[in-house]
Amino acid sequence: MPDAPPLDLGGDVGALTAALVDVESVSGDEKTLADAVEAALRPLPHLTVVRDGEAVVARTELGRAERVVIAGHIDTVPLAGNLPSRAEGDLLYGCGTSDMKSGVAVALKLAAGVPAPVRDVTYVFYDCEEVEAVRNGLGRLARTRPELLAGDFAVLMEPTSGEIEGGCQGTLRAQVVVRGRRSHSARSWYGVNAVHGAEAVLARLNAYQAREPVVDGLAYHEGLNAVGITGGVAGNVIPDECVVTVNHRFAPDRSMEEAQQHVREVFEGYEVRFTDGSPGARPGLTHPVASAFVAAIGGTPRAKLGWTDVSLFSSLGVPAVNYGPGDPNLAHQQGEYVSLEMVAGCERRMTAWLSAPVA
């Protein structure tokens, strides 16, 4: 892929968003955009810039009493005929406009336009968020360069429609195994049909009452749902095994171990195999830096009903929130778009937060 045009960090944030969108950066193919981001940040004298694979980290070193981390991923899901970007009135259409190149544009504008923030700032632009966790660039930094992610508070610029979303839910997937006994389907009474037996598992799911706990003042809504079912070996064989795959979304007042134990209890009597999972993160809004952020941004924080990389910051002991200009309901859609006024408003509020005197 040819080099991207230079990024103009001194211009309009909407134009910068369009420029970022027009650089294709599907997960695993972020080098061109990472090069452009690095080239735009390295000349800025107030920043120390570190390149790690296709992640770019830029830090102020002003000796402030507090440090905040502002992070965003530069990759997108695969294209769907939605490049280049196009503007229609206040709306900018294109792959990644909402998730989350508009948030990246805001962070880049802050990195260039607030050279003397009241708190030291670490800006993190990372790769491979939209794919499996083992490839996640933020996770790689946490494993190999955790000092680069150290801070008192973090803002992950995931799309939230310009509202603060605290913490995130945890998620796990498990296989609930129903056993049977094989037989010829012409003499089915000699067997035990495991697929038919899955009815009892589905009945437990249909009867399940999800918790709606309040955690640090924010209301979460859990869920336990079947997301897949497999069974059967041939068209003339009564199946001796059926596997129901379930996904549990749990509030951050439960650890991964507690959530797994809960799933075991729901499906008592069945073999339960856990296949993957990621813990949640508490909102962390009681920290003074977080309180100042909420005061500067305004609005009423709400719970993040989903999983994001704030979980990773939480595991490092850094309280974090989600805040970005995109609409999360438009993420990954062919017709994805972002409101340019919302992007500009996000930049204004973030600038005010980084510039306001520390109480």
Q: Is 29 a catalytic residue?
A: no
Considering the candidates 54, 120, 129, 309, report the single residue annotated as catalytic: 129
Torsion angle (degrees, nearest 10) of CA 79, 80, 86, 92: -80
Count of Cβ atoms closer than 10 Å to residue 173 Cβ: 16
Distance CA 307, CA 279 (A): 8
Considering the candidates 24, 54, 75, 240, report the single residue annotated as catalytic.
Answer: 75
Instruction: Kindly give, in sequence order, each residue whose CB lies less than 8 Å from that of residue 320, ignoring residues fewer than 6 positions away.
Output: 69, 153, 154, 155, 156, 167, 281, 284, 310, 313, 314
Report the amino acid identity of residue 343: V
Q: Kindly calculate the radius of gyration of the chain based on its CA atoms and give it in whole angstroms.
A: 23
| CB 2, CB 71: distance < 8 Å | no
CB 128 within 8 Å of CB 28? yes
Q: Give me the sheet containing 337-339, strands edge to edge.
A: 86-88, 91-93, 337-339
Alpha-carbon distance 21 to 96, whole Å? 6
Do the Cβ atoms of 126 and 55 come closer than 8 Å? yes
- Active-site annotation holds for 130: no
Q: Do 183 and 190 form a contact (C-beta atoms < 8 A)?
A: yes
Catalytic site positions: 75, 129
